Amino acid sequence: MSLPRHIYQALESVVGPEYISDAPHIMAGYRRSGPHAPLSPRPEAVLLPATSEEVQAIVKICNRYDLAYIATVSGLSLQAYPDRPSTIVLHLKRMNRIVEINETDRYAVIEPGVRHGQLKPELMKRGLTYAVASVGPGGSVLANFTVTSGDHHNQNGLSRTNRYLLGVEWVTPTGDIVRTGSLGAGAGWFCPEGPGPSLRGLIKGYYGSFGGMGIITRIAIGLDASRGPEVMSADGRVPKNKFRLPRDRHRAFIFKFPDLDKVRDAMLEVGKAEIGHSVIKFFNATYALLNTESANDFWQLWDSGLFQRELSKPLYVYLTTWSEEEMEYEERVLREIVAENGGEPVDGRIQQILDDNMDFYIIVSFLQRTLRLGGGWAPNKLSADSITHMFEVGKAIPPMLEEFIDDGRLLNAPDNFQISAMEYAHMAHIELLFIWDFGAPDWPSIPADVMTKSAADDIAAGRHAAMPGRDPVAMRRDGPLYSGFDRWAFAIKDAFDPNAVSNPSPEDRVAERF
């Protein structure tokens, strides 16, 4: 199906003929996010708007002609692709300006196409930093702050991206432009709130709407002072290059513990001491993938059993301080806490990997290496709660995965999950990554089977383990665990998007869901 010419011409009049296409070979590139994803319907057209006003005009045309739309930048999410006919894609890569960096009030104003690899170096030069989502340098900063999860490795000393969202320019699902916080009062970008209720919960909430609540065209994000360096220097050439940081202000450690309870207790104590920019129980198979140069190298390392022995119950701690004296103090406190909880340093070969790849804590530059096995991988859980509760969720993961591993459907990596402390261990984020082989005859059903089993176990045990995003089935399933949030989410969606055109979920055109 192709767009009727009058609709195509209406859209073309907004962006110009150079920035719209319905050519089959262009549409084919917008049908799925990766080889593990199902082939989605082809979009009717792809547009490249350059301004908020162009986005607004496109959205109004979509409402007029009952045409669904999806905004995307990097396309890393399944929700960035059509799930039905009569859908167009707004690729926002032309909107890639860093509008302002305010060094006095510490905020940056950006458009959707600004990538982490673009913004982070500019801020480092100015002695500033921000909450860089752990998605790699090509991820959209704006998307991570407004419509997707945005979790990152440094949430203990910083916080989640949603805490740093300031003024917002928002094209609503029906095509109105709303400016929030101080921006709405004509007072600049510096403050997220103004007189009356806040809109941050509608725009972002905790997990994000994945484009289901219109299109964010500009935002301001809060910045923090950086402990340096101003330039990230590398030794060697890809893939053997090394990123090291000066040890007087930057040190990272990996410790191993006898069980997850000891990891939990150490994480809590580190939080009480208010040290540690990053405090994580990290993935072991994913870390092996990040730090090997080929699939063969990974299998050689994984088959050796080193990472399974040393990193099944680890604690990664990154210390960054303002002086060498402060660093010495924090390291002494850290080592005392680790010793009191039965921890010890990991094998020196693993510690050396971390010392040589400190970009892990600055911007995860090698994230694409997780794809090198050529199979499928998917995230699961993705929730946040208290440290204690997240470790209860984590302890239930290996037995949940056992049947899939025993049947050969998943990589034998039951400990490949992370628990990341947030805000000095006041809470934590959890994420499971499971990996499967496209050679398995039933490979298309593997991710759904794992996620269904995971959700059923967590609901039966009353564990707050999942963030359902825009999936209405998952929202209804998990609603009772989260104060009936699903009813609020559906009602808000109906109120703001009465024509169900803003990246609609499969049930957004259903009048009665319950």
Specify if 511 maps to a domain. Answer: no
Q: Which of 49, 75, 94 is the last residue in one of the domains?
A: 94
483 torsion bin: left (phi>0), alpha (psi -120 to 50), beta (else):
left
Residue pair 124/140 in contact (Cβ under 8 Å)? The answer is no
Residue pair 342/258 in contact (Cβ under 8 Å)? The answer is yes
The span from the CA of 262 to the CA of 394, in Å, is: 13
Q: Is 319 helix (H, G, I), strand (E, B) or coil?
A: strand
**Measured between alpha carbons, how far is residue 492 from residues 196, 213, 475 in Å?**
18, 9, 14
Residues 434 and 296 in one domain: yes
Residues 494 and 454 in one domain: no
To which H or E segment does residue 46 belong? Answer: strand 45-47
pLDDT tens for the 514 residues of the chain, in order? 589 999 999 999 999 999 999 999 999 888 876 655 667 789 999 999 999 999 999 999 999 999 999 999 988 777 788 888 899 999 999 999 999 999 999 999 999 999 999 999 999 999 999 998 888 888 899 999 998 888 888 999 988 888 899 999 999 999 999 999 899 889 999 998 876 667 888 888 887 888 889 999 999 999 999 987 888 777 887 777 788 889 999 999 999 999 999 999 999 999 999 999 999 999 999 999 988 888 899 999 999 999 999 999 999 999 999 999 999 999 999 999 999 999 999 999 999 999 988 888 777 766 667 777 777 888 899 889 999 999 999 999 999 999 999 999 999 999 999 999 999 999 999 999 999 887 788 888 898 899 999 999 999 999 999 876 677 888 888 888 888 888 988 899 999 999 999 988 766 554 444 3
**The tokens 């909107």 sit on which residue?**
95
The total of structural domains in the chain comes to 4
Residues 292 and 421 in one domain: yes
Specify if 505 maps to a domain. Answer: no
Q: Which of 170, 191, 225 is the last residue in one of the domains?
A: 225
> 383 — phi, psi (to 5°)?
-105, 180
Residues 155 and 302 in one domain: no
The span from the CA of 217 to the CA of 110, in Å, is: 9
Residues 296 and 198 in one domain: no
Specify if 509 maps to a domain. Answer: no
Specify if 466 maps to a domain. Answer: no
Residues 379 and 273 in one domain: yes
> 180 — phi, psi (to 5°)?
-105, 165
DSSP annotation of 346 reads P
**Measured between alpha carbons, how far is residue 369 from residues 134, 287, 434 in Å?**
13, 10, 15
Residues 165 and 64 in one domain: no
Q: Is 498 helix (H, G, I), strand (E, B) or coil?
A: coil
Residues 87 and 147 in one domain: no
Q: Which of 225, 258, 276 is the last residue in one of the domains?
A: 225
**Measured between alpha carbons, how far is residue 309 from residues 303, 305, 399 in Å?**
11, 6, 18
Specify if 123 maps to a domain. Answer: yes
Residues 112 and 33 in one domain: no
The span from the CA of 308 to the CA of 301, in Å, is: 10
**Measured between alpha carbons, how far is residue 399 from residues 113, 286, 402, 403, 417 in Å?**
41, 19, 5, 8, 13
CATH of the domain at 355: 3.40.462.10
Structural domain of 266: 237-461
Specify if 504 maps to a domain. Answer: no
CATH of the domain at 200: 3.30.465.10
Helices (H), 358-436: 387-395, 397-406
Query: Minimal CA–CA distance to 417: which of 287, 309, 326?
Result: 287
Query: Minimal CA–CA distance to 459: which of 483, 486, 480?
Result: 480
Which tokens in the block code for residue 193?
């709130």
Q: Report residue 243 CA to chain centroid gap.
A: 23
Which tokens in the block code for residue 371?
């794809």
Q: Is 386 helix (H, G, I), strand (E, B) or coil?
A: coil
Residue pair 503/212 in contact (Cβ under 8 Å)? The answer is yes
Residues 38 and 60 in one domain: yes
Residue pair 423/156 in contact (Cβ under 8 Å)? The answer is yes
Residues 159 and 253 in one domain: no
Residues 178 and 269 in one domain: no
**Measured between alpha carbons, how far is residue 414 from residues 179, 232, 343, 392, 433 in Å?**
45, 34, 21, 15, 9
Specify if 275 maps to a domain. Answer: yes
CATH of the domain at 31: 3.30.43.10
Which tokens in the block code for residue 490?
């559906």
Specify if 344 maps to a domain. Answer: yes
